[in-house]
Amino acid sequence: RKEVEQDPGPFNVPEGATVAFNCTYSNSASQSFFWYRQDCRKEPKLLMSVYSSGNEDGRFTAQLNRASQYISLLIRDSKLSDSATYLCVVNAATNAGKSTFGDGTTLTVKP
């Protein structure tokens, strides 16, 4: 089993739709969590951190459920420019320098 698992998709949604991605992690000692975005043939870039109480950044909402060991990302009112691959990232308490990336979920927003 992979340390971080994501539904690869692809998710194909129309503009304006709300879409949610989930990510599960296996290490219960994991401490910090992030969502990165990767555009085609580009490098990953941080989208947002995920806090225990949940957090929102504009149209994006991230949630953490430690008991069930999953993280979610909700995108409201999706735009064409949201089309990308979204990577879930987990840092363990031990080996704190290391981040484990999920394989990503691909989103395509269509007109």
Partner 1 sequence: DAGVIQSPRHEVTEMGQEVTLRCKPISGHDYLFWYRQTMMRGLELLIYFNNNVPIDDSGMPEDRFSAKMPNASFSTLKIQPSEPRDSAVYFCASRPGTVREQYFGPGTRLTVT
What are 29's two structure tokens?
């000692």
Cα–Cα nearest to 34, from 48, 21, 22, 55: 48
Does residue 68 bind partner 1 (CB under 8 A)?
A: no
Q: Is 99 in the site for partner 1 (CB under 8 A)?
A: yes
Cβ 70 to partner 1 shortest distance, Å: 18
Q: Determine which helix (DSSP H) or strand (DSSP E) holds 110, and give its type and residue range.
A: strand 105-110
Interface pick for partner 1 out of 15, 16, 18, 46 (rule CB under 8 A): 46
45 interacts with partner 1 by CB under 8 A: yes
Which range touches partner 1 (CB under 8 A), out of 51-59, 60-68, 70-78, 102-110?
Answer: 102-110
Beta bridge partners of 11: 107
Q: Which stretch binds partner 1 (CB under 8 A): 20-28, 37-45, 52-60, 69-77?
A: 37-45
Whole-Å CA distances, 61 to 1, 18, 43, 96: 27, 11, 22, 25
Q: Minimal CA–CA distance to 34: which of 96, 89, 71, 74? A: 89
Which residues of the shown chain bind partner 1 in the complex (CB under 8 A)? 32, 34, 42-46, 49, 87, 91, 95, 97-104
